[in-house]
Amino acid sequence: MNLVFDIQKSIEENYTNNAFCFSNTHYSYKDFAQVISDIRKAIRSSVKDDEINIGLIANDDIQTYASIIALWMEGKAYIPLHPDFPVGRNKMVIDQAEVKTVLDSSETEIFTECNTILTKQCNSSEINLTPVEVTDDDLGYIFFTSGTTGTPKGVPITFGNLSGFMDAFWELDYPITSEDRCLQMFELTFDLSVVSYLAPILKGACIYTIPKEEIKYSYIFELMEDYELTFALMVPSILHYLRPYFDEIDCPAMKYSLFCGEALPLDVTEEWSTCIPNATIANVYGPTECTIFCTDYTFKRGKYNKTHNGVLTIGKDMKNTTTIIVDEDNNEVKEGENGELCLSGSQLTPGYWKNEEKNKETFFYKEYKGKNIRFYRTGDLCTVDKDGDILYLGRVDFQAKIQGFRVELSEIEFHAKAALDKINVAAIAFINSIHNTEIGLVIESEEFETKELLDELKNSLPQYMIPSQIKFMNAFPLNTNGKTDRKKLKELFNKG
């Protein structure tokens, strides 16, 4: 498939359809085409041909989404920058990706040291949706995820990766048509946003976003009922917030309800299924490194569903992905045995952005079915059953998913130790009373006032990485290997 040409074709064929709805204001595909064209003209006049990585302030408006398509049609990649993240963190991303130009729909430019195109101020131009030629190896975007050293790590995704994902996605048989109304609940710094806007655009459907000032879960509820949404990809934590209102939710128009980004509990899924009586519900899985998601399991209404500790299976690999489960020596484990889930295929990133050390640690080659195949270590502990369905057991390392975002607990520890002048700390992921994951911090010290520490962390980390609870211990417990016993530390939070 030629992704960018397919985008052009869909936009041109659906001019009269609604493309987006922001805060109850609709924009047609012709409106979208006009904004894309205006931004393209500005890019051509002020960005050099060899400048590929372009920063994008991730606002919630027509100009921001049009900027993505405009960049793709110019053969360039977007690097999303969250306007509410600490300036220092965004600056690290800009420096790593060697960003010189930023597209920004804000009223005033945020990064004055960059060449900034204020996209709301672009001059009107003739509509031009004819894309330049791009290859499968050209970059579509780079997402920067939490890193172990306190520095975010970049995951570049090519047009070949994106095409492989869309090809596999359509094979799942969750069809979207120009009549559909689709939810886009994710920040544009989170890669689940990509399928949430790209799949509808490719079919001429309408995309409904969440304004930044709204309470996300309650606004989703309103959108589902007021606009009779038909397609939604969400993180499971949204269900925990919506659960008290399940008796009030009745959305028969919903056709497909997908979940990704966190473990999906069976009990809340069963309850949710009564709110959307006509919908297919699916649990999909995948890391940013394998382009959005790459395995799929369809929930079976009123029948047996595979689970581990109450969590739904992540199912089988999608069309363009191969999954294996290996031991510490990269040998495949037997059916029913535990090991680390590893992925390969056309969706797999070329490797972390300018980070050979991390690439050597995370990617490896292995003889598989007579070929030397490159695999990615997910860090997820899994097992596979006799039917080939993969059961998620937990994390091999110390990563966690918070509100759908992947977080390296060691990054929080890095910044906390820096703020505390090297006092020992441990960041712990724990499940709260409504079954969402939170971050707790244990400090190896006598108790003290933590306001200054939290203020320091807020200058370094996005809000979802700030610990919600802090505990103190004079000395951390050790396990039989002499390592900090994190299970015992976790009990401090499970006890409340």
Lowest pLDDT segment from 217-226, 275-284, 473-482: 473-482
* Band of pLDDT at residue 495, cut at 50, 70 and 90: low
Structure-derived torsion over alpha carbons of residues 127, 210, 293, 136, reported in degrees to the nearest 10: 20
- 377-432 pLDDT tens trace: 999 989 999 999 999 987 776 667 888 887 878 789 889 988 998 788 989 999 88
On the question of pLDDT at 210 being above 70, the answer is yes
CA end-to-end span of the chain: 52
| Joined tokens for residue 188 | 């544009």
| Joined tokens for residue 58 | 């991730």
Pair type for strands 77-81 and 321-326: unpaired
- For 42-66, what is the mean pLDDT? 96
Q: Which of 209-213, 308-312, 321-325 has the highest mean pLDDT?
A: 321-325
Does residue 310 come out as left (phi exceeding 0), alpha (psi in the -120 to 50 range) or beta?
left
Name which of 378, 482, 477 is nearest 426 in CA terms. Answer: 477
Distance in angstroms (rounded) separating the CA atoms of residues 284 and 292: 9
| DSSP state string for 68-114 | HHHHHHTT-EEEEE-TTS-HHHHHHHHHHTT--EEEE-SSS-S-TTS
Place of tokens 């502990």: 381
CA angle 345, 348, 350 (to 5 degrees): 125
On the question of pLDDT at 175 being above 80, the answer is yes
- 110-155 pLDDT tens trace: 888 899 999 999 999 999 999 999 999 999 999 998 766 677 899 9
Distance in angstroms (rounded) separating the CA atoms of residues 57 and 189: 9
Distance in angstroms (rounded) separating the CA atoms of residues 439 and 437: 7
* Band of pLDDT at residue 480, cut at 50, 70 and 90: very low
- For 202-219, what is the mean pLDDT? 93
Give the full edge-to-edge strand order of the sheet including 316-317: 25-28, 18-22, 206-209, 181-184, 231-234, 256-259, 280-285, 295-298, 316-317
- Average pLDDT over the chain reads 93
Place of tokens 């793709």: 72
Place of tokens 């991390």: 358
User: What number of residues does the chain have?
Assistant: 496
Distance in angstroms (rounded) separating the CA atoms of residues 471 and 155: 34
Distance in angstroms (rounded) separating the CA atoms of residues 258 and 265: 13
pLDDT of residue 408: 76
The listed CATH number (3.40.50.300, 3.55.10.10, 2.40.10.10, 2.30.38.10) that belongs to domain 320-384: 2.30.38.10
Whether pTM exceeds 0.85 = yes
On the question of pLDDT at 479 being above 70, the answer is no
On the question of pLDDT at 19 being above 60, the answer is yes
Pair type for strands 115-118 and 101-104: parallel
Residue type, 201: I
Domain boundaries in the chain?
3-312, 320-384, 399-494
Query: pLDDT above 90 covers what percent of the chain?
Result: 78
- For 93-114, what is the mean pLDDT? 91
pLDDT of residue 149: 65
DSSP state of 408: E
Residue 182: what are its φ and ψ, rounded to 5°?
-115, 140
Name which of 361, 410, 422 is nearest 151 in CA terms. Answer: 410
Pair type for strands 53-57 and 101-104: parallel
On the question of pLDDT at 265 being above 60, the answer is yes
Q: Do domains 3-312 and 320-384 have the same CATH topology?
A: no
| Joined tokens for residue 154 | 């970049």
- 218-253 pLDDT tens trace: 899 999 999 999 999 999 888 888 988 999 999 999
Distance in angstroms (rounded) separating the CA atoms of residues 193 and 443: 35
- For 472-495, what is the mean pLDDT? 78
pLDDT of residue 217: 87
- For 262-269, what is the mean pLDDT? 90
Name which of 488, 475, 420, 425 is nearest 452 in CA terms. Answer: 420
Asked if CATH classification 3.40.50.12780 holds for the domain at 3-312, the reply, yes or no, is yes
- 341-352 pLDDT tens trace: 999 999 999 999
On the question of pLDDT at 71 being above 70, the answer is yes
- For 263-269, what is the mean pLDDT? 91
Specify whether the CB–CB gap between 352 and 359 falls below 8 A.
yes
Distance in angstroms (rounded) separating the CA atoms of residues 375 and 322: 9
Question: In terms of CATH architecture, what is 399-494?
Answer: 2-Layer Sandwich (3.30)
- For 89-110, what is the mean pLDDT? 92
On the question of pLDDT at 496 being above 60, the answer is no
**157 has which bridge partners?**
141
Structure-derived torsion over alpha carbons of residues 262, 263, 267, 269, reported in degrees to the nearest 10: 50
pLDDT of residue 481: 47
On the question of pLDDT at 23 being above 80, the answer is yes
- For 145-172, what is the mean pLDDT? 90
pLDDT of residue 398: 65
Query: pLDDT above 70 covers what percent of the chain?
Result: 97
- For 466-473, what is the mean pLDDT? 95
- For 74-87, what is the mean pLDDT? 94
pLDDT of residue 3: 96
3-state SS record for 367-407: EECCEEEEEEEEEEEEEECCCCCEEEEEECCCEEEECCEEE
